[in-house]
Structure 1
Amino acid sequence: MLTVHHLNNSRSQRVLWLLEELGVPYEVKHYQRDAKTMLAPPELRAVHPLGKSPVITDGDITVAETGAIVEYILERYGNGRLVPAAGTPQKLAYTHWLHFAEGSAMSPLLMKLVFGVLPDRAPKLLKPIVKGISAKAQAGFVDPQLKAHQAYWEDTLSKSEWFAGPEFSGADVMMSFPIEAAASRAPFGDDKPKLKAFLARIHARPAYKKALERGGPYAYA
């Protein structure tokens, strides 16, 4: 049976959600972050050399990286579901957002996270310097990037209900994490009605709720 090696408050929540949408049987092996470092436990290295989540095992097959996992699951178990027809504009959009979610979207979000915690982890004498550098980096580069990305997402959702067109797809599963992460750092205001509506739609889906039951507490929901 397919096993999801699931880390709390991580991108692997999307994998559980996708499996619930498809009705694919699976098992969950839970891992907890270190309370101080927030890093994954070393036990995950027994599954994959990088020791990170998400990772799935399916028989003797091991797949890491969320995008690759989503593609594998949809190709093996999807039977054509949640993927637009080949050769259509929707399929091109689907491919774009599938890769965008872990490429362009996550870079500024990760930088926001790093620069946000860096001052607290700096030596006491260096804290003021590190805090100033972090603030300048966020204000001068990271925050403008996040603002541009959110405007791009909002504009896309103003043209269609879902990222790859009128139908829900694996692209929406992939885009859920960067959007939820962005909203957790700075809740969307009235100028982002489409993003707020997107989050409301996915959170209301029965499969999303079932995945939360299987995965446990999830800070971004």
Structure 2
Amino acid sequence: MLTVHHLRISQSERIVWLCEELGLDYDLKIYIRRSDNNLAPPEYKALHPMGIAPVITDGDIVLGESGAICEYIDRKYGDEKLSVGPDSPDFAGHLFWFHFANATFMANGMMGLVAAQMGGPTPEFVSERVSKAWALAEARVGEAEFFGGSQLTTADIMMGFNLTTSRMFGNTSLEGYPNIAGYLQRIGQRPAYQRAMEKCEPGMKPKLD
């Protein structure tokens, strides 16, 4: 049985959304962050050597890393419905945004968050990278309906968290990003996204604006 281990307010919401988009039968286990430091509880950290979200278990398989999990589930259980083949004009764009989501967009944001927590000014090169990443995302969803191109793909699953729940950590405003704001409204209207957020973040209003 495929089990999604969801740590509240974390990247693992992506995997719940993915499963809902694919209409899969899966087990969802929810873990609450510690009250003293807001980190994952010991039982979550024990799931995988990295001790971070997301994590899935599937029989004897324990798998971490958002991108790897998205590919695993879409290929094994989703008949690659949320992937784009090399014959599609959206192939390159889908691959770029799928990998850009964590390799660049989230990495830049994390550098800025760490700098802020240390109490010092954000380094100029970090600010520039963050601004460029947001500008690139704004341009993408101005020219295409989805980050994956003409249809929702795992690239959108990956980017979605960065533009929604992740903003709770830095209070990033969508002012000046009308295309992203419009994109998030489209995402918020998807029944699968609504089901996912109701299941993994009960009582929390999705951060779509």
Q: Which runs of 5 or more structure 1 residues have no equivalent in the other structure? A: 120-133
Query: 1:26: Cα distance to partner?
Result: 0.9
Structure 1 segment 77-156 matched on structure 2, within 5 A: 77-119=77-119, 134-135=120-121, 137-138=122-123, 140-156=124-140
Partner SS for 1:105? helix
Distance in 1 (CA, whole Å) between partners of 2:36 and 2:112 is 19
Q: 2:157 aligns with which of 169, 173, 188?
A: 173
Larger radius of gyration: 1
Query: 1:115: Cα distance to partner?
Result: 2.1
Q: As a proportion of its length, which structure holds more helix?
A: 1
Q: TM-score, normalised by structure 1?
A: 0.85
1:29 is aligned to 29
Contact 1:31–1:41 at 8 Å: present in 2 too?
A: yes
Distance in 1 (CA, whole Å) between partners of 2:36 and 2:129 is 29
Contact 2:101–2:158 at 8 Å: present in 1 too?
A: yes
Distance in 1 (CA, whole Å) between partners of 2:94 and 2:43 is 34
Query: 1:182: Cα distance to partner?
Result: 4.4
Q: TM-score, normalised by structure 2?
A: 0.90
Query: 1:219: Cα distance to partner?
Result: 7.1
Distance in 2 (CA, whole Å) between partners of 1:99 and 1:154 is 17
Percent identical across equivalent pairs?
39
CA RMSD, aligned part only? Answer: 1.8
1:204 is aligned to 189
Q: Which runs of 5 or more structure 2 residues have no equivalent in the other structure? A: none
2:2 is aligned to 2
Distance in 2 (CA, whole Å) between partners of 1:45 and 1:170 is 25
Distance in 1 (CA, whole Å) between partners of 2:134 and 2:107 is 13
